[in-house]
């Protein structure tokens, strides 16, 4: 059956950094409303907002204290309703981020749960251990143990996979599952078009009373809290219940560690029954050149291009509609991470987004934005540990911080650059995030420049929505070297996307003559395409 999201091109907005309308340094919903015409002109038709619920902002909104209200820094419910209405007027759909694995410790459920062992909310969370002894040695993704002492001093602990202020919900409890459905209904009843489901792969945990093998304590124990079989059972119930009530709802799940097999289980109507999944396993990295004398966590690395190609082709050939992205709020920006120059940043865009699947464009990607430099990551344990190790291994503090700024996810959350005013038109006051973008670019400057990133992305997005690129089959052509060449075909139409990341020119035989998009330099005659280094072309 045809669905509105068959042709979705999604634009991810990090609301805190997009547009501040009330000059408090934090982006807000009225700011997004103001920029809808810009987004319309860009050509995207679906918006995904990172969390905007009431939150103490320990994890920038992923720690939700009230799912039924908008964080006052970002606006009010009236602002939200206005945004939704305006977006729909522009024929755009809106996706809410949906955080169902954990809440904030300030959420009333948790506050009640730590008042008494008899609280009816006690079983909404995962309490375990006794006499001050943790049940196991598992580590949290944010460092340290997953267990934090019960503030009630019962000798028990509560489980948190992320920050200690983000206790995990107990999905074994059917009341939790029902409560989450009710929250989803509240937003879908308002007219929201879909949900980006945060960290759903973690809702099921193994038997808590067992250690994970390892010499360090605590130890990251992913097999015990990621992609467990019960995830399928609970998400199946969640997705089917919502789809029965809201047949048009679009469910986009974040499955960070999913390979193609798991992704297909999450997409299978008999599995998690989601419409799309975002994996973090796309970008295979070359770790061979890293300095072994200190942690690799923030050491910049190249893409392992060959492995990446193989990986992409497997996703393209195995998953019906892969999610296509280069950036998001949890990753460094591609223009800093892998692209060596502006040409390459554009080439990665052609590489990724013209493939088969649903594109997600991260705000600012369309301007070629790079990471910001954050002067201090005060109190961030993992950064402190990294800098200490790196300086002990002989690096200067500046060198270590430079690595952090290339690799840390916070550095990808800089303010959108709208114009040339002091804070880039994002705000009149200093933005909430203390970072400097050294690029001299803005949406305003790029508006009329035919060679700008912005106009390149406009063209790319409109091409993406043509029948051939929306529906066509995909076939990779094996051109040796650091190249990426593929064909899309549909009935009697076909096109090739040819990209040369190598140091020397490449030659490809082709019968195509119609040039749809170009980066860099090429020659095309007598059935031969010559592509210079750092150049790419789309031919039909
Ligand atoms: C989000 C992260 C967040 C985490 C915990 C994710 O996967 O994308 O930004 O820190 O979930 O909610």
* CA of 328, closest atom in ligand 1: 8
State residue 378's pLDDT score. Answer: 78
Nearest CA to 337 out of 281, 377, 299, 291 is that of 299
- Global pTM reads 0.98
Write a three-state SS string for 329-398: CCCCCHHHHCCCCHHHHHHHHHHHHCCCCEEEEECCHHHCCCCCECCCCCCCHHHHHHHHHHHHCCCCHH
| pLDDT, tens digit (0-9, with 9 covering 90-100), for 365-420 | 999 999 999 998 878 888 999 999 999 999 999 999 999 999 999 999 999 999 99
Pairing of the two strands 157-159 and 147-149: antiparallel
Is the Cα dihedral 416, 421, 422, 426 positive or negative? negative
What token pair was written down for 293? 């004398």
What is the whole-number distance in angstroms between the Cα of residue 62 and the centre of ligand 1? Answer: 6
Span 77-89, average pLDDT: 99
Cα dihedral 231→232→237→238 (10° resolution):
60
**Contact call for residues 26 and 432 (beta carbons, < 8 A):** yes
**Percentage of the chain with pLDDT > 90?**
98
From the number of C-beta atoms within 10 Å of its C-beta (0-12, 13-18, 19+), residue 280 rates as middle
Tell me the average pLDDT across 26-50.
99
Q: What is the mean pLDDT of residues 489-498?
A: 98
Task: Tell me whether residue 229 is exposed, middle or buried, using C-beta atoms within 10 angstroms of its C-beta: 0 to 12, 13 to 18, 19 or more.
Answer: exposed
pLDDT in tens, 225-281: 999 999 999 999 999 999 999 999 999 999 999 999 999 999 999 999 999 999 999
Q: Give the model confidence (pLDDT) of 168-214 as tens digits.
A: 999 999 999 999 999 999 999 999 999 999 999 999 999 999 999 99
- Give the residue, 528 or 379, on which the prediction is more confident: 528
Of residues 198, 265, 275, 365, which has the active-site annotation?
198
Cβ–ligand 1 distance for 97 under 6 Å, the answer no
Spacing, Cα 415 to ligand 1 middle (Å) = 19
Residue bearing the CA closest to ligand 1, atom 12: 62
In this prediction, residue 228 carries a pLDDT of: 98
Closest atom, ligand 1, to C-alpha of 254? 7
CA distance linking residue 456 with residue 315, whole number of Å = 26
**Please, which residues have CB within 8 angstroms of residue 244's CB and are 6 or more apart in sequence?**
none
Terminal Cα distance for the chain, rounded = 29
Indicate whether 424 pLDDT > 90.
yes
63 Cβ inside 6 Å of ligand 1: no
For the question of residue 222 being annotated catalytic, the response is no
Task: Check if 521 is active-site.
Answer: no
The response to whether residue 330 sits with its C-beta less than 6 Å from ligand 1 reads yes
d(CA 510, CA 127): 63
Which residue has the CA at smallest separation from atom 9 of ligand 1? Answer: 330
Instruction: Report CA(440)–ligand 1 centroid distance (Å).
Output: 30
Mutate to test the pocket of ligand 1, among 330, 362, 382 (most ligand atoms within 8 A of CB): 330
User: From CA 329, how far away is CA 363, in angstroms rounded?
Assistant: 10
| Closest ligand 1 atom to 59 CA | 10
What's the confidence (pLDDT) of residue 355? 98
Helix axis angle for 453-464 and 342-353, nearest 10°, is 10
Cα distance between residue 453 and residue 458, in whole Å? 9
Closest Cα to atom 2 of ligand 1: 330
- 113 Cα: distance to centroid of ligand 1 (angstroms): 23
- Average pLDDT over the chain, rounded to whole? 97
Read off the pLDDT band of 501 (50, 70, 90). Answer: very high
Q: How far is the CA of 468 from the centre of ligand 1 (A)?
A: 34
pLDDT tens-place string over residues 438-454 = 999 999 999 999 999 99
| Alpha carbon distance 482, 496 (integer Å) | 17
- Ligand 1 neighbourhood includes 254 CB (under 6 angstroms): yes
């Amino acid at each position: 059956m045809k669905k509105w999201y068959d042709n979705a091109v999604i634009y991810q907005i990090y609301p805190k950094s997009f547009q501040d309308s009330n000059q408090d340094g934090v982006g807000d919903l009225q700011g997004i409303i103001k920029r809808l015409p810009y987004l319309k002109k860009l050509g995207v038709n679906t918006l995904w907002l990172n969390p905007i619920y009431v939150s103490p902002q320990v994890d920038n909104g992923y720690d939700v204290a009230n799912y039924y209200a908008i964080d006052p820094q970002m606006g009010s419910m009236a602002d939200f309703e206005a945004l939704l209405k305006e977006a729909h007027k522009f024929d755009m759909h809106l996706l809410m981020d949906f955080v169902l694995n954990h809440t904030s410790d300030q959420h009333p459920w948790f506050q009640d749960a730590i008042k008494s062992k008899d609280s009816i909310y006690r079983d909404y969370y995962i309490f375990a251990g006794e006499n001050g002894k943790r049940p196991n040695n598992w580590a949290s993704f944010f460092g340290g143990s997953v267990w934090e002492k019960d503030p009630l001093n019962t000798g028990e602990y509560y489980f948190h996979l992320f920050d200690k202020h983000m206790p995990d919900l107990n999905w074994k409890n059917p009341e939790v599952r029902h409560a989450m459905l009710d929250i989803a209904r509240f937003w879908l009843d308002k007219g929201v078009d879909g949900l980006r489901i945060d960290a759903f792969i973690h809702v099921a945990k193994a038997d808590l009373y067992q250690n994970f093998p390892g010499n360090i304590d605590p130890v990251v124990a992913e097999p015990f809290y990621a992609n467990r079989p019960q995830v399928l059972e609970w998400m199946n119930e969640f997705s089917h219940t919502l789809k029965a009530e809201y047949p048009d709802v679009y469910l986009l799940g974040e499955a960070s560690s999913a390979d193609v097999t798991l992704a297909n289980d999450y997409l299978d109507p008999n599995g998690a029954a989601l419409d799309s999944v975002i994996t973090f396993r796309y970008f295979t990295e070359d770790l061979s050149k890293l300095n072994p004398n200190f942690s690799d966590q923030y050491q910049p690395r190249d893409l392992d291009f060959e492995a990446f190609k193989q990986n992409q082709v497997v996703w393209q050939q195995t998953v019906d509609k892969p999610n296509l992205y280069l950036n998001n709020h949890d990753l460094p920006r591609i223009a800093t991470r892998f692209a060596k120059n502006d040409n390459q940043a554009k080439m990665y865009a052609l590489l990724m987004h013209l493939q088969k699947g649903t594109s997600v464009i991260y705000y600012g990607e369309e301007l070629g934005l790079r990471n910001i430099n954050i002067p201090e990551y005060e109190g961030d344990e993992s950064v402190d540990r990294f800098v200490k190790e790196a300086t002990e291994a002989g690096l200067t503090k500046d060198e270590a911080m430079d690595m952090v700024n290339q690799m840390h996810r916070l550095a990808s959350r800089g303010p959108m650059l709208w114009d040339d005013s002091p804070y880039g038109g994002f705000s009149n006051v200093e933005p909430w995030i203390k970072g400097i973008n050294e690029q001299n670019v803005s949406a305003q400057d790029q508006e009329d420049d035919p060679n700008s990133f912005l106009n390149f992305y406009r063209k790319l997005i409109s091409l993406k929505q043509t029948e051939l690129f929306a529906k066509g089959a995909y076939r990779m052509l094996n051109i040796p070297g650091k190249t990426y060449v593929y064909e899309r075909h549909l009935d009697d139409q076909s096109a090739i996307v040819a990209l040369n990341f190598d140091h020397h020119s490449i030659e490809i035989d082709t019968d195509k003559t119609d040039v749809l998009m170009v980066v860099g330099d090429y020659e095309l005659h007598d059935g031969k395409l010559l592509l210079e280094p750092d150049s790419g072309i789309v031919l039909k």
